[in-house]
Each structure stands twice: as structure tokens, then as C-alpha cells.
Amino acid sequence: MTAVDQSRQTNNGGGHELRSGLAGVPLSLEPLTRKDFTSDQEVRWCPGCGDYAVLAAFQGFMPELGIKKENTVIVSGIGCSSRFPYYVDSYGMHSIHGRATAIATGVATAREDVGVFVITGDGDALSIGGNHLIHALRRNVNLTILLFNNRIYGLTKGQYSPTSEVGKITKSTPMGSLDNPFNPVSLALGAEATFVARTIDSDRKHLTEVLRAAAAHRGASFVEIYQNCPIFNDGAFDVIKDKETSADAIIPLRHGEPIIFGVDGRLGVVRDPNSGEFGVAEVAEVGVEALVVHDAHRPDPTYAFGLSRLTASGMLNQSPIGVFRDVAAPAYDDLSRAQVSTAAAQNSDDDALQALIAGNDTWNVS
């Protein structure tokens, strides 16, 4: 029995046969629990680090996938979050800075029967590993990529990162950082990633929902997780986490529903018919019918990219969360394996190899 049984039926833009992200991965014969995904290693993040919450949600969610834990591989790069694989009792590699997506591409392409997760951070994935990330996304390799975005370099003790806001005062930028940050979701959509989502470390329910959708997606699933670093960037997400302010700051995206948020649903997302740009309006002023109805399955990424621009680029005071884009497209690793198996259907035995090596132009010396 394999996880192909878990294929879901959802609307999709591409018209491709839908396979679950975990199709081909063997299912566990016995039900697993959180404990099964807990290794013997002591977890060593700073007290209050958001990584604890993500790890707990991940360990809690993995049993529900039903796949064998020995058929799970977690690859990480370098950074605080990249310690993650040590704490999960699966196969894992804590690799080198920025290269996790490249290494995971090799694992995923080599083995259809393995579910591959990538754990990375804003420095790891967007700075030193930016190239590998965008190429894994454009290829649509069947990986679930969890990017822990704390908007700071934690492990190297507090330099600004490629997601830090302009003017960030850090040890390496005492007069303020100068460069414009990446919006990770915009970047992923620019690379035409087929599944792009954002969630928050402290919202266990939402985090789990997003992980579930990401794992079910076949191809590259990119999940940005807002994660607080209590030591070097504490409070970076306070506005969207604080109960007082979060209602007006978080824009929840739910497929098929109007994008409405704010205290008592007073705000909504509208789209300018001329420019195509998105904005926030008072529902009382524009009416519910004027609000954008979220469609994560649009084949063209333009719409999702537009939505991603609603995230403030400076201090974070407003941001959409949820699944921006979820479209079906062929996965690179499936296509690669199909080429090999199609080719292998030709004569590929030892005699065929002997004939290949001899070639067409031989001569005999007697």
C-alpha cells in the first residue's frame, strides 16, 4: 500500500492528472504517533524560539500523513532552523549553507518512494541559497520546503538578513541596512512555484492546515513561516501576532471565499480593474460584492503575485496568510524518472551494455 491512496481531488488549472505529493511513498502499517517522529536528541534552541512551535506542529502532523517514517527524508541547510532534522526520527541530512534544496533535489529525483522535506531559513534559502531555491521551484521538484523567516541571522548572532526591513540596525549595519528586502512569497511566485503559502509559527492550527496542503501538493511546495527570534529580532511579528492588532493585520486567504478580514470583518481586499493592483478597502464603503474572491488555482501566477504585494515591506503591519497558489503541473522528478524508465524498456541488459561499449566501428586483430 502506498500513499497514492491519498490522492485528493481538487480543482486545478492545468488539467494534469493529480497525484498526491506523497504518491508512491509506502504507508505505515501501524498508526504512528508524535513520539514516532521524535528522535533521541535534546532540542537545543533558545528559550521562546518559534522553532519549537514549528517542530511540535510538524511532529504532530506527520503521523496523519500515514507514511512510513523510514521513507521520510528531511534535508536542511545551515542556520538555527536547520538543526530541525536532528529532532525528527526519520532519515535526515543537516547539510551546508544554502544547498539543502539542491541536495534534496537529488534525493527526490533518485527516489519516488521517499517524502522529502526541506528546512531552511531566510538567510539560507534567500541569500546564499537563493539560486538553488528558485531553480527547485521553477523545476517543480516534489519537495515540501519550509522557510523559517525570522528576518535576521540568528546563528551568526544577529546580522540583518535578506528579509530584514530597510534601515535595520544590527551588528553589521550600525547605521542601518541599505538594501531592499525580499518578499519570499513574491520571489517564489516570480519563479512560478506551483504551491506557495504563508503561515505563522504561533498559529498551530493554521500552520498544520498549510503543512497538510503543502504535503498533498505534488511538485515544489513553498511555505514561508513567520518565526520569531526572541534573541536577535524579538517582536518582528508582534503586530500580526498581538491579539489587539492581529485582526486588522492578518489577511487570511481561503480558496473560493471573499478575502475579508479585520475587526468584525470590516476590511476586505479589492482589485483595481485598471491597474490590476490589489488594495485594502472598508467593506462598508465598497460592499462585499466588490471584494476579491480568492482563487488559488489560477494557472497564471500574476494574480497570486499581486496578492503577495499586500505584505508591507518595512515593519510588518499587514500580511496575507494561507495558500496563495496551488496549481497542478508535472513534477521534475516524476518526469526524470519517467525518461529513465521509458528508456530502460529498451534493451538494457548486460549484452546491450557490452554492445554499446563496443560501438559500431570495431575491427579485429587476430
Partner 1 sequence: MKQVHTLDRVVIRFAGDSGDGMQLTGDRFTADSAVFGNDISTLPNFPAEIRAPAGTLPGVSSFQLHFANYDIMTPGDRPDVLVAMNPAALKANIADLPRGGVIIVDTADFTKRNLAKVGYDTNPLEDGSLTDYQLHSLDLTGMTVEAVKQFGLSRKDASRAKNMFALGLLSWLYHRPTEGTLNFLSRKFATKPDIRDANITAFKTGYAFGETTEVFAVTYEVAPAPMPAGQYRQISGNLALAYGLITGARKAGLPLFLGSYPITPASDVLHELSKHKRFGVTTFQAEDEIAGVGAALGASFAGHLGVTTTSGPGVALKAETIGLAVMTELPLLICDVQRAGPSTGMPTKTEQADLLQVMFGRNGESPVPVIAAQSPADCFDTAIEATRIAIKYRTPVILLSDGYIANGAEPWPVPDLSAIATIDPDFAVEPNGTDKAGKDVFYPYRRDAETLARPWAIPGTAGLQHRIGGIEKARDTGAVSYDPANHEEMVRTRQAKVDGIVRDIPDLVVDDPDGARVLVLGWGSTYGPITAAVRRVRKGGRAVAQTHLRHLNPFPANLGEILRSYDRVIVPEMNLGQLSMMLRAKYLVDVHSYSRVRGLPISLSELAHDLESEIDQLEGVRA
Give the residue from 117, 10, 16 showing the smallest Cα distance to 74: 117
Q: Tell me the C-alpha distance between 269 and 261, whole Å.
A: 8
Grid coordinates 498581538 are at which residue? Answer: 242
Interface with partner 1 by CB under 8 A: which residues?
A: 26, 39, 41, 68-73, 75-76, 78, 85-86, 89-96, 99, 102-111, 113-114, 131-132, 135, 336-337, 339-340, 342-348, 350, 352-354, 356-359, 361-366
* Distance in Å, CB of 223 to partner 1, minimum: 20
Q: Which is nearer to partner 1, 32 or 269 (CB)?
A: 32
* Distance in Å, CB of 179 to partner 1, minimum: 22
Q: Which is nearer to partner 1, 286 or 355 (CB)?
A: 355
Q: Which is nearer to partner 1, 172 or 347 (CB)?
A: 347
Q: Tell me the C-alpha distance between 237 and 79, whole Å.
A: 19
* Distance in Å, CB of 345 to partner 1, minimum: 8
Q: What is the DSSP string of 271-301?
A: E-TTT--EEEEEHHHH-GGGSPBP-TT-SST
Give the residue from 293, 283, 324 showing the smallest Cα distance to 307: 324
Name the pairing type of β-strands 319-326 and 195-200. antiparallel
Q: Which is nearer to partner 1, 10 or 38 (CB)?
A: 38
Give the residue from 184, 198, 74, 60 showing the smallest Cα distance to 130: 184
Q: Which is nearer to partner 1, 81 or 90 (CB)?
A: 90
* Distance in Å, CB of 144 to partner 1, minimum: 15
* Distance in Å, CB of 96 to partner 1, minimum: 5
* Distance in Å, CB of 50 to partner 1, minimum: 21
Q: How many CB atoms lie within 10 A of CB 129?
A: 24
219: left (phi over 0), alpha (psi -120 to 50) or beta: left
Type of residue found at 89: D
Q: Which is nearer to partner 1, 1 or 343 (CB)?
A: 343
* Distance in Å, CB of 341 to partner 1, minimum: 9
Q: Tell me the C-alpha distance between 109 and 333, whole Å.
A: 4
Q: Where are the beta strands (DSSP E) in 150-277?
A: 195-200, 221-226, 250-253, 260-261, 267-271
Instruction: Please provide residue 205's backbone torsions phi and psi, each rounded to the nearest 5 degrees.
Output: -65, -45
* Distance in Å, CB of 74 to partner 1, minimum: 8
Q: Which is nearer to partner 1, 71 or 144 (CB)?
A: 71
Residue 51 DSSP symbol? H
Instruction: Tell me the torsion sign for CA atoms 207, 220, 277, 160.
Output: positive
